[in-house]
């Protein structure tokens, strides 16, 4: 199978080159991960079609697929909101479950030989203890978003055909939404502002965006993964407090600005959250290659340039 060090030597650009002679269709290409996926493929000279339409419209989907005739479809289009709000149940079903099955139907009708890489989420595992393995039975997803992502995975696996469900774990890097933890901490560090937070003792797995994209590309180019659910993971498990402290160090900010314990602990906080990477390593031959220090350095540098440009 090859060693992890040998796997890690293949860059995201190298993996993208596997698609050189293929047509690729992407939904959610305006998002954080989807945008990077599209850019990496385009930089490699791949024929990429970014879906511009409405995922809830069967006509938009059918027209786009009939025009582009893709070999591989990466489905990342979604409404990402992990709020535990019952009012989100209906909207999440429509844009996650209904839209994904509509896409699958359109693909079967228009390009039946194409491969669909459906991008699920690690949130699907719910309240079971980590590490989360694909063979585990998820329990009690904590939000409508997680619930309907899981229902979609189940439906796609039941239907069969040329489909893979990729479950990325926590991803960070340039282009992430400012409200997320890492961009918020980076912005505070660069501005020299206080950063009040909880005790931050909970641990999370952290994956740099190019590593997540490389994992998704391997899903779309590994025949042995077809018909399976595969975690895209393997990043280091680091506490939230330690992560914020590392960000301030990389930014050259005063460590005293990080006010650990200034905010109350959130109810229902998961103590450890990370994936079992065995299937990712043995089937996809994927191991993240970006160190935490390197990933944070790139992220801080990107935000520094962005904030200076906005000044």
Instruction: Say yes or no to pLDDT of 7 above 60.
Output: no
Domain extents in the chain: 4-310
Q: For residue 235, is pLDDT > 50?
A: yes
The stretch 196-203 carries a mean pLDDT of 96
Residue 81: which pLDDT band, with cuts at 50, 70 and 90? confident
The class of domain 4-310 in CATH terms is: alpha beta
**Is residue 155 left, alpha or beta, with left meaning phi > 0 and alpha meaning psi from -120 to 50?**
alpha
| Partner residues linked to 24 by β-bridges | 48, 72
Predicted pLDDT at 6:
52
Average pLDDT estimate for 87-96: 92
What pLDDT is attached to residue 4?
44
What is the pLDDT at residue 9? 62
The pLDDT of residue 268 is above 50? yes
Residues 6+ away with beta carbon under 8 Å from 18: 217, 221
% of the chain surpassing 90 pLDDT: 87
Q: Is the pLDDT of residue 311 over 60?
A: no
Res 5 pLDDT > 90: no
Q: What is the pLDDT of residue 1?
A: 33
- Mean pLDDT, the chain, rounded, equals 94
Is the Cβ–Cβ distance between 188 and 308 less than 8 Å? no
Does residue 80 carry a pLDDT above 90? no
- The reported pLDDT for the residue numbered 310 is 66
User: What's the CA gap between 232 and 123, in Å, rounded?
Assistant: 13
**Rounded average pLDDT over 286-308:** 97
Do 238 and 175 meet the contact criterion of CB atoms below 8 Å apart?
no
Q: What confidence score (pLDDT) does residue 123 get?
A: 93
């Amino acid at each position: 199978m090859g060693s992890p060090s040998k796997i890690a030597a293949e860059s995201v650009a190298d993996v993208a080159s596997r698609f050189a002679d293929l047509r690729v269709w992407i939904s959610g290409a305006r998002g954080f991960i989807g945008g990077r996926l599209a850019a990496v493929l385009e930089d490699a000279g791949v024929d990429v079609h970014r879906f511009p339409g409405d995922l809830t419209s069967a006509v938009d989907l059918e027209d786009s697929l009939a025009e582009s005739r893709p070999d591989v479809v990466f489905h990342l289009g979604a409404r990402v909101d992990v709020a535990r709000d019952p009012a989100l149940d209906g909207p999440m079903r429509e844009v996650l479950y209904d839209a994904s099955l509509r896409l699958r139907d359109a693909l079967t009708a228009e390009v039946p030989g194409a491969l669909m890489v459906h991008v699920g989420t690690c949130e699907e595992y719910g309240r079971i203890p980590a590490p989360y393995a694909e063979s585990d039975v998820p329990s009690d997803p904590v939000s409508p978003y997680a619930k309907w992502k899981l229902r979609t995975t189940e439906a796609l696996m039941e239907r069969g055909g040329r489909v893979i469900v990729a479950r990325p774990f926590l991803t960070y890097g340039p282009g992430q939404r400012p409200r997320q933890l890492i961009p918020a901490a980076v912005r505070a560090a660069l501005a020299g502002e206080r950063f009040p937070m909880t005790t931050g003792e909970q641990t999370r797995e952290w994956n740099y965006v190019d590593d997540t994209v490389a994992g998704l590309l391997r899903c779309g180019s590994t025949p042995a993964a077809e018909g399976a659910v595969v975690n895209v993971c393997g990043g280091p498990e680091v506490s939230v407090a330690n992560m914020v402290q590392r960000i301030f160090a990389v930014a050259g900010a005063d460590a005293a600005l990080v006010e650990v314990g200034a905010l109350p602990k959130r109810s229902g906080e998961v103590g450890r959250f990370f994936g079992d990477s065995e299937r990712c390593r043995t089937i996809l031959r994927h191991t993240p290659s970006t160190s935490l220090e390197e990933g944070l350095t790139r992220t801080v540098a990107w935000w520094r340039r962005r904030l200076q440009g906005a000044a």
